[in-house]
Amino acid sequence: MTFGQQLLDAAADRGRLCVGIDPHASLLKAWGLSDDVAGLAEFSQRCVEAFADTAALVKPQVAFYERFGSAGFKVLEDTLAQLREAGCLTVADAKRGDIGSTMAGYAQAWLGDDSPLRADAVTVSPYLGVGALAPVFELAEATGRGVFVLAATSNPEAVVLQNHLAQDGRSISQQVVDECAALNAGHEGAGNIGVVVGATLSSAPDLSALNGPVLMPGVGAQGGSAADVDRIASGVEQLAFPNISRAVLSAGPVVADLREATLVAAREFPGRSL
C-alpha cells in the first residue's frame, strides 16, 4: 500500500489533521519544562500520549531535536518509535536535499527499514533539482513510505523564487508539483510523493494532477483557515492535510487538553478513503 493511501485511510478515521511536535525553547518554558534533554523528552512524551490515537499524521520538527546533538536525536528516535508502535503515521520534518550518494544517505536515514530515525515520510527540498532527489523517491517507492517535497512555501523570502516563470509559463513551484505528479502517475490511488504548499498563499500551484498528499502548513496561529485549505486544494480536498502546531501545542502542557485540542481541530477537516 502506498503512503498516500495509508494516509487517506488514517484520515477516514481521524480527519486530515497533521499535528506538529515543535519543542522550541519558548514552548518548553511555557509548559514549565527545562530547556534541556530532560525537558525535550518530557515534552515529546506528552505529545505522543496526546496525538498517537487522535491525529492522522504527526510531524516532529527535527531541528528542535538536533539542537541537543546526539542526545536530542535519541529522544527523536524514541518518539518516532513510540508513535510507530501506536500505529500513528509520522513525517520527519527534516527538509533534507542533496545529490548522489549523499541524498541516498539521507534517504536511508529517514526512510530505511533499519534506521533508528525511520519515519513514515520525510520532507525534502528540491532546490538542487527535483531529479537530484531520486534516491529518496526510489526508496519511498520500494518501501511504501512517503516524501513531501517543498513546492510553494508561504515565507516571504521564497515567494519570488517559487513564482519565477519558466519559458513555458509555469512557475518553479508548478514545475515541482508537475514532476511529483509524474512520479505518482503509475499508482491507481494516491501515490507516495506529496508536496508542501502553504495554506496562507494568495495563489498556489495547480494540484489537480498530483495524485498524492499535500501537506499544508500555516493553518491556525499563522492565519490559514479551513476555507484556505479548500481553496488551494480545490477538487482534491481529501488529499490536503493541514498542519497545525502552535494552536494545538498552546493547549498544553496537560495531555487531556492537548488531546481535546487535537480532536476539535480535526473535526474541521473530515477525511474519507478514495
Q: Catalytic residue positions?
A: 95
Total length of the chain: 274
Q: Please state, in angstroms and rounded to a whole number, the distance separating the CA atoms of residues 246 and 108.
A: 30
Task: Evaluate whether 172 touches 205 at the Cβ level (below 8 Å).
Answer: no
Preceding amide of 253 cis, omega within 30:
yes
Neighbours of 74 (CB within 10 A): 16
Instruction: With CA atoms as reference, report the closest residue to 131 among 159, 105, 110, 100.
Output: 100
Question: What does 80-139 look like in DSSP terms, one character per residue?
Answer: HHHHHHTT-EEEEEEEE---HHHHHHHHHHHH-TT-TT--SEEEE--TT-GGGGHHHHHH
224 residue type, one letter = G
Pairing of strands 57-60, 240-244: unpaired
C-alpha cell at 233: 486544494
The 10 Å CB-count burial string (b at 16+, else e) for 23-44 is bbeebbeebebebebebbbbbb
Q: Please state, in angstroms and rounded to a whole number, the distance separating the CA atoms of residues 152 and 205.
A: 7
β-sheet bridge partners, residue 214: 195, 240
